[in-house]
């Protein structure tokens, strides 16, 4: 994704913070860099027009990109979170949700800086079974996840990670994105079912075709 942006800009980007920095990221960053899919890009070598162009091009390739400034309490940089990355920390996934809602991803809930662009999802991973993502979005296999939710998470599945990320974003929970449909994941799924008005008999913590499609809206496809 970054290479695609660099080709468009005709210049290199300098990363000042990357991913998988649990315990090593700047304190002001919180846990957003603990897992995959998050980078901070240096802006001091870019003029205002270049910074604005970088922000837009990052968003075009499906980064939730935010310009962090000294007025906000940061060293000036662009913070970019890969939309659709199944390995995001829950805090980074919440920033993606804020971006989708036109917010800046900070605690103040301020408006998004710069122009909004059409949200797409860069094809980051290949789902299980060799199925190509539909429309650039991950694919979740209904029958497969139903079996694992009923079994209590005996296996690690990429499809369950996708559901966990969506639950973290939708109901603001902090599930570990470990791919196991354990107790906490099933309880979070019940909250989702209840929140969308499912009939009591369907609030069981087991994905069904309607509630899973609702959870996946804009995030993943159900097959």
Tell me what pLDDT residue 121 has.
64
How far apart are the C-alpha atoms of 189 and 198, rounded to whole Å? Answer: 11
- Give the model's pLDDT for residue 85: 82
Instruction: Give the strand pairing for 15-17 and 38-42.
Output: antiparallel
Query: What pTM, to 2 d.p., does this model score?
Result: 0.57
By CB atoms closer than 10 A (0-12, 13-18, 19+), residue 19 is buried
CA angle 6, 11, 17 (to 5 degrees): 65
Q: Return d(Cα 77, Cα 67) in angstroms, integer.
A: 6
| Superfamily per CATH, domain 128-222 | PGBD-like superfamily/PGBD (1.10.101.10)
pLDDT along the chain (223 residues), means of 10: 90 94 89 94 95 94 93 94 87 91 91 82 49 60 93 91 92 89 96 95 95 92 88
Rg over alpha carbons for the chain, rounded to the nearest Å, is 18
Query: What is the model's pLDDT at position 219?
Result: 87
Q: Domain limits of the chain?
A: 2-100, 128-222
Please report the pLDDT score of residue 120 as a whole number. Answer: 67
Report the alpha-carbon distance of residue 153 to residue 204 in Å, rounded: 15
The pLDDT score that the predictor gives to residue 88 is 87
């Amino acid at each position: 994704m970054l290479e695609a942006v660099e080709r468009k800009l005709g210049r290199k980007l300098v990363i000042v913070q990357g991913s998988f920095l649990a315990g090593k990221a700047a304190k002001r960053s919180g846990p957003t860099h603990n897992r995959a899919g998050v980078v901070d890009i240096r802006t001091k070598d870019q003029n205002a027009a270049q910074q604005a162009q970088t922000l837009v091009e990052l968003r075009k390739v499906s980064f939730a990109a935010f310009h962090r400034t000294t007025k906000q309490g940061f060293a000036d940089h662009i913070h970019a979170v890969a939309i659709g990355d199944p390995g995001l920390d829950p805090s980074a996934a919440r920033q993606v949700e804020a971006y989708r809602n036109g917010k800046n991803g900070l605690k103040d809930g301020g408006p998004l800086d710069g122009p909004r662009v059409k949200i797409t999802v860069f094809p980051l991973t290949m789902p299980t079974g060799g199925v190509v993502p539909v429309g650039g979005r991950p694919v979740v296999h209904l029958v497969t996840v139903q079996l694992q939710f009923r079994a209590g998470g005996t296996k690690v599945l990429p499809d369950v990670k996708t559901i966990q990320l969506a639950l973290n974003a939708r109901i603001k929970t902090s599930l570990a994105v470990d791919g196991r449909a354990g107790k906490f994941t099933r309880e979070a799924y019940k909250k989702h079912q209840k929140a969308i008005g499912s009939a009591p008999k369907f609030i069981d913590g087991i994905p069904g075709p309607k509630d899973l499609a609702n959870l996946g809206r804009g995030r993943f496809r159900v097959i």
